[in-house]
Amino acid sequence: MTSARSLGLLGAALGLALGVGMLTSPPGDASAPAATTPVGGSVAAPAGVPMPTLTRPPAGVHGHPLWDSWHELGSFGYREDEYLVSGTARALDGTTAPYTTRIIVTRPRDERRSNGTVLLDWVNVTAQFENAVDTLEARELLLREGWTYVHVSAQKAGLCCSPLTPQVWDSVRYAAIDHPGDEYAADIFSQVALALRAHQGLDPMRGLTVKRVIAAGQSQSADKLYGYVTQWQEQAQVIDGFLIHGNGTVRKTFPAPLGVPVLNLLSDREAEPAAPTTDPRYRLWEVAATAHSDFFIGVQSVEGNGPRVVDQPAADRARYAEVIDHADNYGQVPDPLHATCTLAGATMPMHYATSAALHQLNRWVRTGKPPARTPRYRFDGAALAKDEHGNTLGGIRLPPVEVPVARYESTLCDLGGITVPFGDAELRSLYPTFDRYQRLMGRATDRAVRRGWLLPPDARDLMRRVCAVRPRYPTALRGTCRADSYDPPRFATR
């Protein structure tokens, strides 16, 4: 790689990580009608949602989509295809405009691997390029459970005109893109949902059964989804549930009863003591010590998306495992990136909570049975209450905050934070032997699984990572890593 190319790679990677999770203004009028129950499975076009036309883009200059999978998919039983989506979209005031945008569909290769659920990721564009936050956070869950996940270019700023937008990055491949403005974004999103369900024309699902469509968006995109729920869902009825994740303009109430499940996933950045709605179709998850933007996303941005943007081959399965292994650090192993505020410093594993939230939301949509309500954050006045280590009290408590090895400065940089690992002396004062630490983490992990906050495969993954603390103890105090024998309890669904 030439030095110029190396600089380009570094700039792209850093820009990616720094842009994740930023905020823009909230959506418009929140007084419009609330959601009603959508139709399920494959559908004909409902009144008010026209069927768009899908076509394939040309190969272009780079020969692959911008923001395609940074790792190979074949070994997971998956494939990925990009489509141009064209039609006529409507704004809230009734005006219409033609549009062409694009989607990237990542799906199981055959019906046997599919769980029948499609996740539409309204990708974040605050950094003036696209960040598919929730599909990065929940990547392991999505591949493990057989979801289809779709990168939806719903907003104009993600398509043009910074260097990391499709129309600039590859003007040949994306010459046809024409977005009329964000006032049309919600209707475009509805049309994409319909195209995934309808199996008409060029079918992006290649015949796979679609039983459910769930929408997710983080930060600014979460604000857009709140606006969608309150202004568009009742008429469109093509989406079955919503994950509103880290909405910067925190709104936990709705102007009318909800018609479909909404799970609101918040980090410390969005903490505020106002009571949420008691609507039975709403659940609030406040995850203690988590940041708006975190290490798991930052590492994938720097080590995964960055190289791919400058046309490096998609990482093989072994390299995928290496990157995820690095990204999964929760502070148990000191890392220079822990001090990089916003870029990648905050390590409380929100990705475990995101995965559990999507799993619970999917079950809720499928069965009609909601997950249990969760504890609220604890407040000291309007501020979050903190424990003796400086970590957040209350909320959903993942094992690393229950049995801490670090202080999680989750809001130090507003949108991000840093992790301050405990020194070896402090670690050993809290947990005199590794066996003691491992035993306490096992108990906390069991509690999180029983309460429905941590999925069993993620519990096993976490207990494997616990063993990275062992070398920090003198030989006589190291005990034995028991990750291979860890067996999580039954996962709670109610």
Average pLDDT, the chain: 91
pLDDT(101) > 90: yes
Express each pLDDT in 427-444 by its tens digit: 999 999 999 999 999 999
User: Given pLDDT bands bounded at 50, 70 and 90, which one contains residue 32?
Assistant: very low
Q: What values do phi and psi take at 388, rounded to 5?
A: -65, -15
Q: What pLDDT is recorded for position 248?
A: 85
What pLDDT does 189 receive?
A: 98
pLDDT value for 494: 72
Tell me what pLDDT residue 46 has.
53
- pLDDT over 70 (residue 39): no
Q: From residue 370, give the alpha-carbon distance in Å to each of 245, 248, 349.
A: 18, 25, 23
Beta bridge partners of 265: 245, 285
d(CA 412, CA 183): 34
Cα gap 142→27, rounded to integer Å = 28
Contact status, residue 366 vs residue 384, Cβ threshold 8 Å: no
Which pLDDT score, from 0 to 100, does residue 20 have?
Answer: 41
Contact by Cβ (8 Å): 101, 82: no
- Band (pLDDT 50/70/90 cuts) for residue 41 is very low
Check pLDDT > 70 for residue 44: no
> Which pLDDT band holds residue 344 (cuts at 50, 70, 90)?
confident
- What is the C-alpha to C-alpha distance for residues 160 and 182, in angstroms, rounded to an integer? 13
As a residue count, the chain comes to 494
**CB burial of residue 471 (10 Å; 0-12, 13-18, 19+):** exposed
Report which of residues 159 and 13 the model is more confident about: 159
Count CA atoms closer than 13 A to 317's CA, side-chain side: 7
Whether 381 shows a pLDDT value over 50: the answer reads yes
Per-residue pLDDT of 233-259, as tens digits, reads 999 999 999 999 999 899 999 999 999
Residues 250-285 as b/e (b if ≥16 CB within 10 A, e otherwise) read bbbebeeebbbbbbbbbbbbbbeeeebbeeebbbbb
Residue 40 pLDDT class (50, 70, 90 cuts)? very low
**What residue spans define the domains of the chain?**
3-286, 329-485
pLDDT average, residue stretch 224-240: 97
Q: pLDDT tens for residues 176-189?
A: 999 999 999 999 99
Using pLDDT thresholds of 50, 70 and 90, give the confidence band for residue 362: very high
Report, as an integer, the average pLDDT of 127-141.
96
Instruction: Give the N- to C-terminal CA distance of the chain in Å, as an integer.
Output: 53
What is the predicted pLDDT for the residue at 47? 57
The mean-pLDDT minimum among 38-42, 277-281, 317-321, 412-416 falls in: 38-42
